[in-house]
Structure 1
Amino acid sequence: MTTITDTSPLAHRPGWFTRAENWLDAKGRGAWIAAMVLGFVFFWPVGLALLFYMIWSKRMFSSCNRKSTSMRQGMNAMRPSGNSAFDAYKTDTLRRLEEEQHQFEAFLERLRDAKDKAEFDQFMNDRADKADNSAVQA
């Protein structure tokens, strides 16, 4: 038995939908909106399908390239500038900001825990009051 392997240049090429999606992502949210409007103008179900797809894939309410942009910004923050005094200041400031972020997150966690405990205590007190009231009435 022989197996047939496809070695043509089109074997690993993504489909037209994936290529169109990547092209629109590269152009930004405006291209998605323009495609949707044109879809409504020429054949309204296409525009409606694009609208639903944009909402479903979260392209309508967020930047298409948000992950790559934030990664690029993070890489730029770690690149040395060539000025040793500034690099030391930047390193110290970033360390201090990370420490403050961890302290703030710990504060929020303690705040959530205190709120949960207060809600639980209130529930237990209400439950005990109901039990006392039902025992008094009986």
Structure 2
Amino acid sequence: MNTTALIRPAWTPATIALMVIGFMVFWPLGLAMLAYIIWGDRLEGFKRDVNRATDGVFAGCRRASHRTHARRTGNVAFDEWREKELERLAEERRKLDEMLGEFDDYARELRRAKDQEEFDRFMANRNKPAAPTTNNNNGKSNPGLLDEE
């Protein structure tokens, strides 16, 4: 799923206009737009890190809650099976969380490599000497003027 933001965090005419309008309407809106332009590209990583941290904090609470409030059915075989399945699911969840972290690292590295490639291409194009233009005026010094011979 490829989602593109309507307003990306960069110095574009749209973001500058929104920032100016924000300052004119209510200065904190302009300040928020300025912050988005400057630091908006870091929001996704920040959100992911905060979600991961809060998931870790609340996962411990959930585990403690499930253990203390785990209802026993009275059927020992079923209760044991249920505990094993819950442990298996928790292990699968940990594996999926690890895979998500690995994929995030991989995607971040791909973006960095793409950025590096674009930068290298820019620098190579920038450092190329300008190609000499061919002179098709048969040795005339100013082709725009008529020769008076």
TM-score (norm 1): 0.44
**Greater Rg by CA:** 2
TM-score (norm 2): 0.41
Q: Which has the higher contact order (CA 8 A, sep 6+)?
A: 1
Looking at secondary structure, tell me which structure has more helix per residue.
1
